[in-house]
């Protein structure tokens, strides 16, 4: 597989009419050039399709038992048919909904014609055996059981699942294999008048098509990308004036970034990467690199049309340049409801933040340097590509470690750690006052991020990596081995 990175995105999507408004140069470092939108056909404009949520699989009596079939499928997206791979034949897989203390038992039927596996991104669960074990290989034609025991202390929020077959992660996710996981309980921590508000998944993923099929090789920045919400192009969300809604924003795609914005509105963040916050905070723009999630309240004002957009952004001089794109239309209409104040805190939630005062105990300190070799097209951590036989960090169970994450490349890298969420302590030397733990953070170009993490509860081998899956597949991943002694 050629080491390339999708950087071109589809622009200017009109309801049921796809048109490309980008023209890209060749190579994985191409910049997006300006282009004119294609004029839609004359005639009466068609109404945008209503947003449809993916199907939900809920736990009953503490158990979510389901069969997921991974297979080739034809997806109907914005009036066209594209071939890819899906869980149960869907471009966005079913949403798994559980509560703390539940067990997830999935019978994974592999009809892809190639090996695969399954990763539950962000959940603090065992990385060994038949649980969240990304070293496991599920052969083509096999049926394997994945059994995830969700701790009673699990954080309320949004997570996701996808294959993590090293070398094929990008191709399998990009072809359609990903879906959301929700640990319910967040609305129960809101004031009484907000506990029955609409709860909407906003799952973001993209695809590039060639000859009627989603590309799984040579995913080229010279090709446009179609961005979707819940597998739909520019769907319509509806709201009533004054209404508050819970939006679960999740980037469940393989490679590209989102910079989310709704003109005239703010996102009130309840949880980041599935971790409820100490204090609710508001932002007009939220950055979502691959793998990132936010659970937010959105309170609507007067009746008027607006839109969920991703704003123009650059990932650095050696990275990608994304243009502004409308992701979904938002129709605010109907009978107004009396607005409810957004709470400053969630009831009964105590975020598990680590001490940050000078002299706070740290058992071990490490430096992880993220770099690229453009000539050899390698993506490395501490000067080496991923080796399944090499452990980057031997850790003692229960220890707290401080890691310095250095980015010496010319583009942003989204750092992700499996199993254990971490606390960001500083960015480029400036103290960062974390509102919650998180599992994904952007590493600035030429900069550094300091994190602290407590390796509690689980022993076994797990991964940390850049969540641009093209980079992970081509070496930018490391391994942690947690044991009771911390020695090899």
Q: CA 413 → CA 31, 183, 471, distances in Å?
A: 18, 27, 9
Fold of 364-483: Immunoglobulin-like (2.60.40)
The answer to whether 157 and 274 are in contact (CB under 8 A) is yes
pLDDT higher than threshold 80 for residue 44: no
- Could you give the CA distance from residue 150 to residue 100 in angstroms, rounded to a whole number? 6
- Could you give the CA distance from residue 118 to residue 114 in angstroms, rounded to a whole number? 14
The answer to whether 24 and 33 are in contact (CB under 8 A) is yes
* Percentage, residues of the chain above pLDDT 70: 89
59-108 pLDDT per residue, tens: 999 999 999 999 999 999 988 999 999 999 999 999 999 999 999 999 99
The answer to whether 437 and 352 are in contact (CB under 8 A) is yes
- Could you give the CA distance from residue 289 to residue 286 in angstroms, rounded to a whole number? 10
Residue 294: its pLDDT value, please?
98
Count other Cβ atoms within 10 Å, centred on residue 171. Answer: 23
174-201 pLDDT per residue, tens: 999 999 999 999 999 999 999 999 999 9
- Could you give the CA distance from residue 228 to residue 53 in angstroms, rounded to a whole number? 12
- Could you give the CA distance from residue 451 to residue 152 in angstroms, rounded to a whole number? 26
CB under 8 Å to 263, separation ≥6 — which residues? 306, 307, 309
pLDDT higher than threshold 90 for residue 250: yes
pLDDT higher than threshold 50 for residue 16: no
Read off the tokens for 245: 């809604």
Which three-class secondary structure state does DSSP give residue 193?
A: helix
Hey, do 189-332 and 364-483 end up sharing a CATH topology, with the first three levels equal?
Answer: yes
What are the sequence ranges of the domains in the chain? 56-183, 189-332, 364-483
153-159 mean pLDDT? 96
Q: What letter does residue 194 receive in the DSSP assignment?
A: G
The architecture (CATH level 2) of 56-183 comes to Sandwich (2.60)
Give burial (CB, 10 Å; 0-12/13-18/19+) of 359: exposed
The answer to whether 242 and 301 are in contact (CB under 8 A) is yes
462-482 pLDDT per residue, tens: 999 999 999 999 999 999 999
DSSP 56-110: EEE-BTTEEEEEEEEEEEEEEETTEEEEEEEETTBSSPPEEEE-TT-EEEEEEEE
Using alpha carbons, select from 284, 330, 325, 281 the residue that is nearest to residue 307: 330
DSSP 8-24: -----PBTTB-----EE
- Could you give the CA distance from residue 157 to residue 181 in angstroms, rounded to a whole number? 9
Residue 358: its pLDDT value, please?
66
How many H-runs (helices) and E-runs (strands) does the chain carry?
2, 37
The answer to whether 287 and 272 are in contact (CB under 8 A) is no
Q: Which residues pair with 325 in a beta bridge?
A: 310
pLDDT higher than threshold 90 for residue 224: no
Strands 95-98 and 56-58: parallel
Question: How many whole angstroms from its chain centre is CA 346?
Answer: 23
pLDDT band at 42 (very low <50, low <70, confident <90, very high): very low
The architecture (CATH level 2) of 189-332 comes to Sandwich (2.60)
Q: Is the dihedral of CA 422, 475, 125, 362 positive or negative?
A: negative
Q: What letter does residue 438 receive in the DSSP assignment?
A: B
Mean pLDDT of the chain: 90
Read off the tokens for 212: 């009627």
Residue 33: its pLDDT value, please?
29
Q: CA 68 → CA 84, 93, 110, 441, 478, distances in Å?
A: 16, 9, 9, 30, 29
First-to-final CA distance of the chain:
33
pLDDT band at 7 (very low <50, low <70, confident <90, very high): very low
pLDDT band at 237 (very low <50, low <70, confident <90, very high): very high
Q: What letter does residue 203 receive in the DSSP assignment?
A: E
């Amino acid at each position: 597989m050629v080491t390339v990175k999708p950087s071109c995105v589809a622009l200017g999507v009109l309801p049921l009419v796809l048109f490309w408004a980008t023209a890209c140069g060749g190579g994985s470092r191409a910049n997006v050039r300006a282009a004119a939108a294609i004029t839609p056909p004359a005639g009466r404009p068609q109404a945008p399709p209503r947003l449809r949520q993916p199907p939900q699989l809920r736990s009953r009596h503490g158990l979510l038992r389901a069969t997921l079939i991974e297979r080739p499928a034809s997806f109907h997206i914005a009036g066209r048919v594209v071939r890819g791979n899906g869980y149960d034949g869907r471009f966005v897989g079913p949403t798994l909904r559980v509560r703390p203390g539940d067990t997830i038992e999935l019978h994974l039927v592999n009809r892809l014609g190639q090996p695969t596996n399954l990763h539950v991104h962000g959940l603090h669960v065992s990385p060994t055996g038949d649980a969240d074990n990304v070293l496991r290989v599920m052969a083509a034609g096999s049926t394997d059981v994945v059994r995830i025991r969700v701790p009673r202390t699990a954080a309320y929020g949004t997570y996701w699942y996808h294959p993590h077959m090293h070398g094929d992660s990008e191709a399998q996710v990009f072809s359609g294999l990903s879906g959301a996981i929700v640990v319910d309980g967040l609305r129960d921590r809101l004031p009484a008048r907000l506990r029955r508000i609409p709860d909407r998944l906003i799952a973001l993923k993209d695809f590039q098509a060639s000859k009627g099929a989603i590309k799984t090789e040579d995913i080229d920045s010279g090709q446009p990308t179609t961005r979707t919400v819940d597998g739909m192009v520019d769907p319509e969300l509806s709201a009533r004036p004054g209404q508050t809604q819970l939006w679960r924003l999740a980037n469940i795609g393989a490679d590209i970034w989102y910079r989310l914005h709704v003109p005239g509105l703010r996102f009130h963040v309840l949880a980041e990467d599935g971790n409820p916050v100490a204090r609710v905070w508001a932002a007009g723009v939220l950055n979502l690199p691959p793998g990132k999630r936010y659970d937010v309240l959105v309170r609507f004002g007067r009746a008027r049309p607006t839109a969920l957009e991703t704003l123009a952004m650059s990932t650095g001089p050696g990275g990608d340049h994304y243009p502004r794109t409308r992701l979904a239309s938002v129709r605010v209409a109907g009978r107004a409801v009396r607005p409810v104040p957004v709470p400053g805190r969630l009831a009964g939630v105590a975020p598990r933040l680590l001490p940050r005062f000078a002299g706070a105990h740290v058992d071990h300190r490490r430096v992880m340097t993220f770099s690229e070799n453009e000539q050899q097209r390698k993506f490395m951590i501490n000067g080496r590509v991923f080796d399944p036989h090499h452990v980057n960090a031997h850790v003692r169970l229960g220890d707290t470690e401080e890691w310095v994450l250095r980015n010496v490349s010319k583009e942003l890298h989204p750092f992700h750690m499996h199993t254990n969420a971490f606390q960001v302590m500083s960015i480029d030397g400036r103290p960062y006052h974390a509102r919650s733990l998180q599992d994904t953070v952007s590493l600035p170009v030429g900069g550094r991020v300091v994190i602290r993490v407590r390796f509690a509860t689980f022993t076994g081998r797990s991964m940390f990596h850049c969540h641009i899956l093209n980079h992970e597949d081509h070496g930018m991943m490391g391994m942690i081995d947690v044991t009771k002694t911390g020695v090899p």
